[in-house]
């Protein structure tokens, strides 16, 4: 016999507080754990072992006080929308039943939306997992950033900033996912152009345990120095060739926007330098 509570589509229904007394007196609101399947596309991908153990101990002592949220996929079979940690902990403890709300959803995108909202509202998703959830809504279900912002009650700029995290080098994304660095650190790193410089600053953050503010200052300095690099002037190549032939050494010319610049001449020894000077001065 199916024993579930049906909820509407509103967010209030989704995050409604469960009355533990109901569970004490009746099996109403519970379903068999063996009839539940995890959601492969659920936003949360990382589960802290320490926090999982704490949850297991809590459920062992007091039971599952907060129902999971599921969607019925066929008669008597359900897929998790939100609450996979509670589901996993209950399975480890060998429980047969778990309190659950059944939410009526009409599409995979709506189920993803509910899962994302529930995790953001209740569990504080890791920033990378949050970004990946937004990316699925945008890429797979064609949500615009504005649509996502409205669904999860965040600003459009916040959605855009979170999705930019997915452009970080894998080593930095993994570090953010594991909470080795913070979202603030990641934002500072994103201000730098080029993955090599990004990773160099990342290692400094780790090694020196830099604060977000310190990371931002260093990132700003790297960006300013990068902006000072002047692209070769289109007329310098021929001039470099003339000087290289004349001096018989490597010559580099850099001209800035004001038409001033510098000439760099390579020498291999002090004797080589003196010979170059003689050629320049015609001595």
Catalytic annotation, residues:
84
DSSP state of 9: S
Concatenated DSSP letters of 197-234? HHHHHHHHHHHHT--HHHHHHHHHHHHHHHHHPPPPPT
**Beta-bridge mates of residue 69:** 82, 101
Contacts of 213 by beta carbon, 8 Å cutoff, 6+ apart: none
Three-class secondary structure of residue 258 per DSSP? coil
| E strand residue ranges, the chain | 5-7, 30-32, 36-37, 68-74, 77-82, 97-103, 251-255, 261-265
Decide: 264 and 230 in contact? Cβ < 8 Å: no
Decide: 215 and 189 in contact? Cβ < 8 Å: yes
What CA–CA distances, in Å, run from 260 to 226, 250, 253, 256, 267? 19, 20, 10, 6, 23
């Amino acid at each position: 016999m199916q024993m579930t509570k049906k909820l509407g589509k509103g967010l209030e229904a989704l995050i409604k507080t469960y009355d533990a007394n109901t569970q004490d007196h009746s099996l109403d609101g519970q379903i068999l754990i063996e009839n539940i399947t995890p959601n492969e596309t659920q936003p949360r991908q990382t589960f802290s072992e320490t926090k999982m153990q704490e949850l297991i101990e809590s459920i062992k002592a007091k039971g599952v006080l907060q129902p999971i949220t599921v969607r019925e996929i066929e008669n008597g079979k359900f897929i998790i929308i939100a609450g996979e940690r509670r589901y996993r902990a209950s399975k480890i403890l060998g429980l047969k039943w778990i309190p659950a709300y059944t939410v009526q959803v009409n599409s995979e995108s709506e189920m993803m939306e509910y899962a994302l909202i529930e995790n953001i509202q209740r569990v504080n998703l890791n920033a990378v997992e949050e970004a990946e959830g937004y990316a699925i809504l945008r890429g797979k279900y064609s949500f615009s950033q504005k649509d996502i912002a409205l669904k999860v009650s965040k600003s459009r700029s916040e959605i855009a900033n979170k999705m930019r995290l997915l452009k970080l080098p894998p080593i930095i994304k993994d570090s953010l996912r594991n909470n080795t660095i913070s979202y603030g650190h990641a934002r500072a790193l994103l201000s730098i152009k080029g993955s090599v410089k990004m990773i160099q600053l990342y290692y400094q953050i780790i090694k020196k345990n830099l604060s977000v503010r310190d990371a931002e200052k260093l990132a700003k300095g790297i960006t300013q120095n990068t902006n000072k690099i002047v692209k070769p002037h289109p007329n310098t190549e021929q001039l470099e060739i003339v000087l290289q032939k004349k001096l018989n050494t490597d010559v580099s010319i850099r001209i800035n926007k004001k038409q001033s610049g510098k000439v760099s001449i390579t020498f291999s020894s002090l004797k080589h330098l003196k010979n170059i000077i003689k050629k320049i001065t015609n001595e």
